[in-house]
Amino acid sequence: MGGNGSRTMSSLTELQDLIQQKYGLDPAALDPNASMRGSGIDSLALVEFLFEVEDRYAISVPDEYSNVDTLADLAAVIDKVRASQTA
């Protein structure tokens, strides 16, 4: 979308929407800077969620990122991977 060169792209809102769609969790109820486990997104759910994110954006998230803890961290990882893999 129209970032026009500046690095403002963030997947955070899209991820929040996807979480709401998939799991019915309201974005307001999910603090981007808190551990996702506290909201019930345990390690298994996170693995499943990442798989769907990869499908959605046609990217591949390297294994080293599979243990991110907060949604903000996850969004940052997705931003980075999208920037490098869709370039």
Partner 1 sequence: MHEVVVTGLGTVSPHGDDADAMFSALMRGESAVRQVFPELPKPAPAATVAFDESRWFTKLQLAGVDRVSQFAVAAADLALADAGGKADVDPERFAVFAGCGMGGAAALEAAYRAGIGGSGRVPPLTIPAFMPNAPAAHVALRNGALGPVLTYSVACASSAAAIAEAAKAVQRGEVDLALAGGSEALIVPGVVLAWQAMQTLAGFQPGEAATSCRPFARDRSGFALGEGAAFLVLESAERARRRGARAYAGLAGWSLGCDGTHLTKPDAPGQQRVLRGALRQAGLQPADVGYCNAHGTATRIGDGVECDALATVWGAALDGLHVSSTKALHGHLLGAAGALEALITVLALHRRQLPPNAHCDPVDPGCPLNLVRQPGTAAPQLQAAISSSFAFGGTNAALLFTRV
The contact set with partner 1 (CB under 8 A) reads 22-25, 40-41, 44-45, 47-51, 54-55
Shortest gap between Cβ of 16 and partner 1 (angstroms)?
14
Contact 59, 82 (CB under 8 A): yes
Indicate the residue among 49 and 77 with the shorter CB distance to partner 1.
49
Phi, psi dihedrals of residue 59, rounded to the nearest 5°: -125, 175
Residue 20, both tokens: 């709401």
Indicate the residue among 10 and 65 with the shorter CB distance to partner 1.
65
Alpha-carbon distance of 30 to 39, in angstroms, equals 7
Shortest gap between Cβ of 13 and partner 1 (angstroms)?
20
